[in-house]
Amino acid sequence: MKRNHLITGLIAFAVTLLTVGVYHLTIGGGAKVVKVEHIDGSPATQAVYTLDEDGNVIPLDFTRVAEKVMDGVVHIRSVQTNPLGNRQQMEDPFKDFFKDSPFEDFFGPRFRFEGPSQPDVRVGSGSGVIISADGYIVTNNHVIADADDIEVTLHDNRTFKATVVGTDPTTDVALIQIKADDLHPIPFANSDEVRVGEWVMAVGNPFNLTSTVTAGIVSAKARNINILREQYAVESFIQTDAAINPGNSGGALVNLDGALIGINTAIASPTGAYSGYGFAVPSNIVSKVVEDLMKYGVVQRGVLGVMIRTVDGNLAKEKDLGVTSGAYVDSLLENSAAGAAGIKPGDVIIEVDGNKIDNSPRLQEIIAQHRPGDKVNVKVLRDGKEKTFDVVLSNRKGKAELVKKEHADILNILGAEFETLDKETARKLDIKGGVKVKDLTAGKLRKYTTMRPGFIITKVDDKPVTSVDELVKILKDKKGGVLLEGVYEDIPGTYYYAFGM
């Protein structure tokens, strides 16, 4: 009996407590009371940890790195003006008057009336990295290519005009310079020591949003995405998932010490905007290109003289290689440095100067850090056995000597790359000789004429020219107007182009 009373009492007590609770939450307590805690300070920077080189646990703090590097990244505005662009085509007023007459052929389809031209102005935007207190800035070649005017804005909003020191389309790297004080250069890191999975930060100006910082990790190394269309292109990108968008090109990819490990260059995206994959030129390649442009005015590219393919499972099975990684030597080029050292087609290059070679881009990256005349130790796998060779790298012409950039001032003014016409082509065109325009960059020829690559200059101001040296000699001290006469291989007739020096 007492036990029943005890149970009944406990039930009544519980019901009472429940009733009181409901009352306070509804009627008796008025509005619902929500307790919010406020914590002074921000422990977020202490929430994630990483390891230093010695294996010590340290807080992962992006704010310190951001403060350290933002002053070293600039915004670049490039302007390309073509005064001959946008010509207003007008209808031939004599078309009907001379129709079905002997003069119709004279005023035929090649005879055009053109109205006043409207300058074609193109404005591009990108980023750059200050690398010295002297005002040298690294960026991508595609950011400043063909620009007539380059404007650099620093993180403190100071603005300067920049001049181009040199470019290397094969790596998409360019070097420009400004005259400014109180600059904050970013030091280079050894990109060979960068590890997949380590934290990195990308700094740049995407969509003209200046001084934007994003963070991520190194997703992969030695990536080739076939974005550079140059004949001797070197693609061995660092891949990252730090957000990179249009405008980030030429900006910095840094490690947690605030050191430069790469120049952001490209994204892989079906939409043209960030979708998880960004690519940067490794800092070791950038450093080599910059040193060459400063010292020689042109990039000194050492080459092995081989045609290579990345070894994979299919190639290994087809050729019975015994390995599934490395760079397979398909063939040797003429005057091959590798061939002279004893390397043969069918060899698999597995190591260069102690650096393991897993694929062709990695081999290109290592060799691109050397100049003609440098000696490298190459380990290959041949018939299942390892062999080593000391290879003296050559230039693209097969000679173990540095390339000279001749007549740099004149060629930069004209904005063209020339070569002396070979005798066979001259004979085919029935001319004594000439100078072929291989390529046009920002300069007087493209800005003030309609010349296109492939034009062969035969005369300058009615004086015959048969070599690049003769062309430069005539133009070296030239002032005033210049008239170029020449031909194209694929277009009949003689063409004339005039401009002022």
The DSSP string of 35-101 is -----SS-GGGGS-EEE-TT--EEE--HHHHHHHHGGGEEEEEEEEEETTSSEEEE--TTTTTTTTS
Mean pLDDT over 27-48 rounds to: 49
Mean pLDDT of the chain: 84
The answer on pLDDT for 95 being more than 90 is no
> Are the folds of 306-392 and 408-500 the same?
yes
Contact between residue 180 and residue 135 where contact means Cβ atoms under 8 Å apart: yes
Determine phi and psi for 287, rounding to 5 degrees: -60, -45
Q: Looking at the annotation, which residues are catalytic? A: 142, 172, 249
Q: What is the DSSP letter of 394?
A: B
CATH number of 306-392: 2.30.42.10
Q: By C-alpha distance, which of 492, 473, 491, 475 is closest to 483?
A: 475
Give the C-alpha distances (Å, rounded to integers) separating 429 from 423, 443, 494: 10, 28, 11
**Of residues 250 and 499, more confidently modeled:** 250
pLDDT in the model for residue 298: 86
**Of residues 221 and 35, more confidently modeled:** 221
Q: Which residues contact 357 (CB under 8 A, 6 or more apart)?
A: 325, 326, 327, 349, 350, 351, 363, 366
Mean pLDDT over 60-76 rounds to: 93
pLDDT tens column, 339-374:
999 999 999 999 999 999 999 999 999 999 999 999
Mean pLDDT over 396-421 rounds to: 79
Contact between residue 199 and residue 217 where contact means Cβ atoms under 8 Å apart: yes
- pLDDT band, residue 98 (cuts 50/70/90): very low
pLDDT in the model for residue 270: 84
pLDDT in the model for residue 89: 43
Contact between residue 479 and residue 418 where contact means Cβ atoms under 8 Å apart: no
**Of residues 297 and 187, more confidently modeled:** 187
- pLDDT band, residue 454 (cuts 50/70/90): very high
Contact between residue 458 and residue 431 where contact means Cβ atoms under 8 Å apart: yes
Q: Which amino acid is present at 317? A: K
Determine what percent of the chain falls in helix, strand and coil, rounding each to the nearest 5. Answer: 20, 35, 45
Domain ranges of the chain: 48-83+119-299, 306-392, 408-500
What kind of architecture, by CATH, is found in domain 48-83+119-299? Beta Barrel (2.40)
**Of residues 414 and 151, more confidently modeled:** 151
pLDDT in the model for residue 10: 52
**Residue found by looking up tokens 């992006």 in the block:** 62
Q: Which amino acid is present at 498? A: A
Distance from C-alpha of 420 to C-alpha of 422, rounded to nearest angstrom: 6
Distance from C-alpha of 268 to C-alpha of 110, rounded to nearest angstrom: 44
CATH number of 408-500: 2.30.42.10
The answer on pLDDT for 20 being more than 50 is no
Most confident of 31-45, 53-67, 452-466: 452-466
Give the C-alpha distances (Å, rounded to integers) separating 348 from 139, 240, 314, 370, 384: 35, 29, 14, 21, 10
Weakest mean pLDDT among 187-201, 236-250, 398-412, 435-449: 398-412
Q: In sequence order, what E strands does 302-356 have? A: 306-310, 327-332, 348-352, 355-356
pLDDT tens column, 182-208:
999 999 999 999 999 999 999 999 998
Distance from C-alpha of 69 to C-alpha of 257, rounded to nearest angstrom: 10
Distance from C-alpha of 33 to C-alpha of 395, rounded to nearest angstrom: 79
